[in-house]
Amino acid sequence: MKKLCLALLTGLTAVVLTATLDLTGNWEVEANFDDSSLSAGGFDCALKQDGEQLTGTCSGGSAQLTGELKGQNVSWKMKEVTYVGTVNETGTSMRGRFTINGQGGSFTALKSR
């Protein structure tokens, strides 16, 4: 019985920790295409989170984004680019993949302090 209670408590703690992530703030994003002949690069985003929904702007406000956070899984769309990734346990970094016009690559993002 003690093992069952401990397992339930551990599981509930994990759910509570991931449910409390808040991505609101400034993020520095670095993106790289799989095809090295294509250039990508870095840009900044200002995110606002309301529940699971994300909104914000990137590149000095020139690009709008919308997305969602479910647990540690994050996805957002900015113009014709779709980003899908995972947020770390503290909500300060994320990594994943992006796609645009049939091309793809990887991205990392760090929350600015």
Give the domain CATH number at 46. Answer: 2.40.128.120
| Residue 20, helix vs strand vs coil | coil
| pLDDT at residue 97 in the model | 98
What is the Cα–Cα distance from 61 to 45, expressed in whole angstroms?
8
Provide the domain limits for residue 67. 2-111
| Six token digits for residue 20 | 């409390």
Residue spans of the chain under pLDDT 50: 4-18
> Per the structure, how many domains does the chain have?
1
* pTM across the whole model: 0.80
